[in-house]
Each structure stands twice: as structure tokens, then as C-alpha cells.
Homo-oligomer: A and B are copies of this chain.
Amino acid sequence: MVDILHKVGITTLEGLCGWWTTDTQGEAGKVGGVIQFRFGAGGIDMKVLELDPAKRVLWQVVDGPQEWIGTKVGFDLKQEGDWTIILFKHQGWKEPVEFMHHCSTKWAVFLLSLKSLLETGKGAAAPNEIKLDSWE
């Protein structure tokens, strides 16, 4: 198993539509809820496994790209002075395939979007995020 890791510092965690994809629906606010993230025709469904506001959010992929099924996406938050730090992990990839490279850089783009949303009020959620390569 191999994992994507990232770290950014921001001030709070809210508003999924504003930083990842504008087409987000479902029950993000309770354990066991399923969130539907859509990107054009495709999408990802995540089940909420853990939810401890201002501390930890853990989701598991229940539908989406084959390589993502069963993987877990986690956000650990902590306060350091004026900063809230997010330690992000997308864990449990079976192999370090090219798609994992793509998703790693893309997560960084979306986490910078989240940082911007919370610091300035304006994120860059899909379909308005930075495009990386020929796959988009």
C-alpha cells in the first residue's frame, strides 16, 4: 500500500463545494453519510467514517475510479498559534501508478484552493481549478 501525503495551513474547514468540486451533494455532516462529488460525467462517492470537527475527518471511497475504491481520504487538523494545520492523507493505493502521481499533484491544487477559499473567501473548485496534464 502507498499513500499520498500533503500539508497546508489554513484557518477552518468548511464548504466542500468551494474548494474541490462545485457539484457536491450528500450527507457530509454525520458518520455513515455518503457524499457525492461530481466532476463532469464522472464522480466519486465517499462514506464518512470519522467526523470530529476541528480535529479529524476520514472518508472512504465507495464508488469512483477503480484505483480509488476502498482507499481512505483523511484530514487531521491542529492549531499552531494563528495557524490551523491540515495534514492530508489519501491512503491505501495498491500501487504507485501514474494515476497516483496525477492525483497527488491534483490534491495539492485542491488543498491550495481550500487554503485560498478560507483565507480570501474565493477558492478554485472544479471545473475552475488549475489543469495539470493531458488527462483533463
Contact = CB atoms under 8 A, between A and B. Distances in A.
Interface in A1-45: 2-9
Interface stretch (A53-61, A63-71, A80-88, A120-128): A80-88
Secondary structure at the A interface, as helix, strand, loop or mixed, is: mixed
B134 A85 contact: yes
A49 interface: no
The oligomer's copy count stands at 2
A104 B134 contact: no
18 contacts: A2-B2, A3-B96, A4-B5, A4-B104, A5-B101, A5-B104, A7-B98, A7-B101, A7-B105, A7-B133, A9-B134, A82-B134, A88-B101, A104-B104, A105-B111, A105-B112, A108-B109, A109-B112
- 4 pairs of A and B residues whose beta carbons are closest in the complex: A108-B108, A9-B133, A7-B101, A6-B105
